[in-house]
Amino acid sequence: MATVKYFLQSKKNPATIYVSLSVMAGKVFKRKTEYSIDPEKWSTETNLPKKGGDVKQKNLKVKLEKLKVQILENLNEIENGVEISGDWLQNQIDLFAGKIKTTDKDVLVNCIQDYIDYLPRKKQTNGKRGVTLSTIKKYKTLKVKIENFQKHRNKKITVKDVGLKLIDELEKYFLETDKLGENTTGRYIKFVKTVCLWANTQNNIPVHPQLDQIKGYTEEAAKVVLSFDELETIENTTFKREALENAKDWLIIGCYIGQRVSDLLTLTSKNIMVKNGVEFIELTQQKTGKYVVIPIHHKVKKILEKRNGNFPYYLSDVKFNLHIKDVCKEAKINEPTQGGKMVKNEKTKITRKEYGIFPKWELISSHVCRRSYATNFYGEMPTSWLISITAHSTEKQFLEYVGKPAIDTAHQIAEFYAKLALQAKKETQMTLLREAK
């Protein structure tokens, strides 16, 4: 059981009053208080000013008792994310003395809102200002989740509270109470750290000494793709419903141009340009703001010709996700595949992602387009060309996206060197034959 005691270390008048906090066997913290007293007026039995005395002595006793109560009441922080230490004890003394005041600016959810307000002005590495709407939306969701977490623990969280123990509590809440997935939880932990670092840099708000030790994380997700053979099967399947035929065409186009669904489904004939007799699709990606030019693959050309030079008719990404599952189901894309799918709990009515092995069509979503393009064409054309179309920021990011280690690039180069060596050998042999004649 924790105990708080006061003591003097000097017999001189006035003598500084010290406080000791014992939280477990062998773990005792000591700090100076703001108060002093004549040792003659100090009781070594009660470890407080002696009874009686003048008004000043009585008030000092009241203050020391109140400080003791504050320290003991706030000790529950050891279960709520704040590490108990000598610094923590000093913080309690300073708070009681009015040296530290927790303002609304120190509260984590307020810092998240400040960061959200700042995002449209944030300078990017490419020199541009602002972020995408999807990024802002993620931080708005984070704010709501931290507000709910505060209600759950019945206590506000300040930026300085964000240490390893609080993060452990937050992870447990996200996973067990909020029923979030591992990757989503890891992403939100990373966002919390980002906000705290920004609040410290931008507004000089104190942070927990363990903040640098906090890490976001991601679990490697199964990478679901449609192979060229599966795309051929889908292409050759005829659907009775026009909605599925339309979704099929969008799916095939998507797997041969490698764009996100937000860019794919907004394409029209206005996105087609012709240069030196070659047709291209040009667009500016909504998420990244990058300008992309894509040569039209003959599979895409075939669909455009079937539709008199037009793309399939528009549908929402929600309907697209639903329809392409049915497309793949009817095309018998049934191979047992590792992955995650959204499942609704009939009791709680909450929909969460479940992981396991399922028929591949159940795992198909709009993201299969960009990933299939990157995976199918990897090794078939230079990686730099693929990156120019998928618009990944780095080659490392691209290789992680298709699930290839960096050594694969070295293998590709080695194969290229081998081809050059073979070609040089053939040319030498042909030269020798000509000279022999």
For 237, phi then psi, to 5°, come to -90, 130
Confidence check: pLDDT of 182 > 60: yes
23-27, 64-68, 196-200, 282-286: range with lowest mean pLDDT: 23-27
Contact partners, residue 120, CB within 8 Å, separation at least 6: 129, 130, 131, 136
Confidence of residue 80 (pLDDT cuts 50, 70, 90): very low
* Better-scored residue on pLDDT, 431 or 144: 144
State residue 430's pLDDT score. Answer: 64
* Better-scored residue on pLDDT, 408 or 260: 260
Which residues on adjacent β-strands are paired with residue 341?
354
Question: Average pLDDT of 394-404?
Answer: 75
- Choose among 222, 137, 178: nearest CA to 352: 178
State residue 111's pLDDT score. Answer: 95
State residue 126's pLDDT score. Answer: 67
State residue 414's pLDDT score. Answer: 65
pTM for the whole structure: 0.58
What's the sign of the alpha-carbon dihedral 166, 168, 171, 175? negative
Which residues on adjacent β-strands are paired with residue 7?
18
What's the sign of the alpha-carbon dihedral 208, 212, 213, 215? positive
16-20, 154-158, 271-275, 433-437: range with lowest mean pLDDT: 433-437
Q: Return the domain boundaries, the chain.
A: 3-96, 104-213, 228-404, 405-437
Instruction: Read off the amino acid at residue 193.
Output: K
Contact present, 239 and 330 (Cβ < 8 Å): yes
Which residues on adjacent β-strands are paired with residue 24?
27
Question: pLDDT (tens digit, 9 = 90+) per residue, 339-387?
Answer: 878 777 777 666 667 778 999 999 999 999 999 999 999 888 888 888 8
Q: Taking all residues of the chain, what is their mean pLDDT, rounded to a whole number?
A: 86
State residue 266's pLDDT score. Answer: 94
State residue 286's pLDDT score. Answer: 87
Instruction: Check if CATH label 3.30.70.520 holds for domain 228-404.
Output: no
Q: What whole-number distance in Å separates Cα of residue 247 and Cα of residue 325?
A: 10
Question: pLDDT (tens digit, 9 = 90+) per residue, 200-257?
Answer: 998 889 999 899 999 887 666 678 999 999 999 999 999 999 999 999 999 999 999 9
Confidence check: pLDDT of 401 > 80: no
Question: pLDDT (tens digit, 9 = 90+) per residue, 105-155?
Answer: 899 999 999 999 999 988 877 677 888 888 899 999 999 999 999 999 888
State residue 303's pLDDT score. Answer: 96
Question: pLDDT (tens digit, 9 = 90+) per residue, 305-351?
Answer: 999 999 999 999 999 999 999 999 999 999 999 887 877 777 766 66
Question: Average pLDDT of 269-274?
Answer: 94
CATH architecture designation of domain 104-213: Orthogonal Bundle (1.10)
Residues of the chain above pLDDT 70, percent: 88
- Choose among 50, 53, 17, 55: nearest CA to 36: 17
* Better-scored residue on pLDDT, 87 or 149: 149
Which residues on adjacent β-strands are paired with residue 284?
291
* Better-scored residue on pLDDT, 182 or 426: 182
